[in-house]
Structure 1
Amino acid sequence: MSDSLLIARNLSKVVRTEEAELHILNNVSLTLARGDSLAIVGSSGSGKSTLLGLLAGLDLPSSGSVLMAGKNLTELNEDQRAELRAQMVGFVFQSFQLLPSLTAQENVMLPLELAGLGSKEAEQQAAHLLERVGLQARLRHYPRQLSGGEQQRVALARAFASTPAILFADEPTGNLDSQTGARIIDLLFSLNAEAGTTLVLVTHEQRLAERCNQHLHLEAGSQVAEV
């Protein structure tokens, strides 16, 4: 277990309303080593995004635990979890989440500068990453000037800018056409292979799930299968 980077033990999430208790997740467990890739699959409302949020420490479980690099997220306060995410985690979202007032290069520079890199070095590194995803001609373009596929490539470059140990992606191809989605999938796994990053992906897309070496199927919040 010493090489395990992310461990979830009997994760459950219950939301209490005035009418009833909603059991969103029930006793989900998984173990991922460095460089592993996990596809979390299931129908809408099955708890996939909730599980992703718990694994990333964005939310806390009602019971169970998540260990990231040996640290129990349930025992850390909000600031400590945020610091751990800053050190270890990258995110890619279906809606891209780019800052509209920043250029493509500036969006990628942001996590580098937050990590303490000087502006000149951050600028050079961001340019290299955007070149890596085929956007060397779009450095000065703003998100509104980019297609959906180009915005997602900027988001990928930004996610890998801080060389995260774990990358969480929530439906990263959900807003893209088939051809662009295929290119994003290829980029995701080639960058993953180069950096040795652990991937945790929520997806409805079969071809993306098939590229992962582990699969976790949720149905009504319960773990149906892990291959």
Structure 2
Amino acid sequence: MLIKTTQLEKRVETSEGPLQILHPIDLQINAGDSVAVVGASGSGKSTLLSLLAGLDLASAGRVEIDGEDLQQLDEEQRAKVRADKIGFIFQSFLLVPSLTALENVMLPAELAGNSEARQQAKQMLDSVGLGERAHHYPNQLSGGEQQRVAIARAFIGKPKILFADEPTGNLDAKTGEKIEQLLFQLNQQQGTTLIVVTHDNKLAQRCSRKLTMAAGRLTEEQ
């Protein structure tokens, strides 16, 4: 069991009293699973993703990643779990504009003290078909190319878990299809557990499991 939640909840305080964002969630995800999380905007999908990744803390319950209870760790310890085991792909790419494609991919490996960061980054860019664009800056790349750089950056640390929040949301259909193929190709080659928040039903159907969020409640399609 790679990810396990137990009665996971999220509440926020408002001027009108507490607002329940997530109702108690019990979830188990095994290594190598590909999981789609679907649902309307505001249903709690991104909140769930943030809790699973240790970017936010639950109001109640717990999240265990590879046997470690995130609620029991301080921020520095949670950051280490993310650095060692987790990769992220965001809809808005979040590339550093002043760094080249190669430098963007190298960044997490360099921060982790990897002496082979440059060579590994070159290999990752080659694997996503961008070897010839290594020295271009983000503003010189198309949306699809920027997303491929973001994928290479997410995979350079060979994470056990990859979280992708609307990875094809800003892309045209043809480019989105290429990104989907790339995600599942890397997922299968490296055995990475893939958890995708998406509005794209076609992408969701490609995953081995489909979870639906509605008003903060999680159900699984059988």
Deviation (angstroms), 1:226:
4.2
- The aligned amino acid for 1:184 is I
Is 1:123 the equivalent of 2:118?
yes
Cα separation, 2, equivalents of 1:44 and 1:64: 24
Written as runs of structure 1 = structure 2, the 5 A alignment for 1:190-209 is 190-209=185-204
1:210 to 202, 205, 212: 205
Cα separation, 2, equivalents of 1:122 and 1:83: 18
Task: Determine helix, strand or coil for the equivalent of 2:2.
Answer: strand
- The aligned amino acid for 1:165 is K
Deviation (angstroms), 1:123:
1.4
The corresponding residue for 1:95 is 92
Cα separation, 2, equivalents of 1:135 and 1:144: 15
Written as runs of structure 1 = structure 2, the 5 A alignment for 1:129-208 is 129-208=124-203
Deviation (angstroms), 1:92:
0.2
2:104 to 97, 102, 107: 107
- The aligned amino acid for 2:9 is S
Structure 1 residues 70 and 226, CA gap change in structure 2 (3 angstroms): farther
**Further displaced range: 5-14 or 85-94:** 5-14
The corresponding residue for 1:68 is 65
**Further displaced range: 9-18 or 168-177:** 9-18
- The aligned amino acid for 1:12 is E
Cα separation, 2, equivalents of 1:178 and 1:223: 28
| Matched positions, count | 222
Deviation (angstroms), 1:11:
1.1
Deviation (angstroms), 1:39:
0.6
Superimposed CA distance per residue, residues 99-140 of structure 1 (whole angstroms, 9 cap, x where no aligned partner): 00000000001111112122xx22111111111101111000
Using the size of structure 1 for normalisation, the TM-score is 0.96
- The aligned amino acid for 2:190 is A
Unaligned 5+ runs, structure 2: none
- The aligned amino acid for 1:42 is G
Deviation (angstroms), 1:224:
3.2
Cα separation, 1, equivalents of 2:37 and 2:141: 29
Is 1:59 the equivalent of 2:50?
no
Task: Determine helix, strand or coil for the equivalent of 1:34.
Answer: coil
Deviation (angstroms), 1:166:
0.4
Written as runs of structure 1 = structure 2, the 5 A alignment for 1:11-22 is 11-22=8-19
Superimposed CA distance per residue, residues 152-204 of structure 1 (whole angstroms, 9 cap, x where no aligned partner): 00000000000000001100000000000000000000001111000111000
The corresponding residue for 1:80 is 77
Query: What is the root-mean-square deviation in Å for CA atoms of aligned residues?
Result: 0.9
Using the size of structure 2 for normalisation, the TM-score is 0.98
Cα separation, 2, equivalents of 1:106 and 1:192: 23
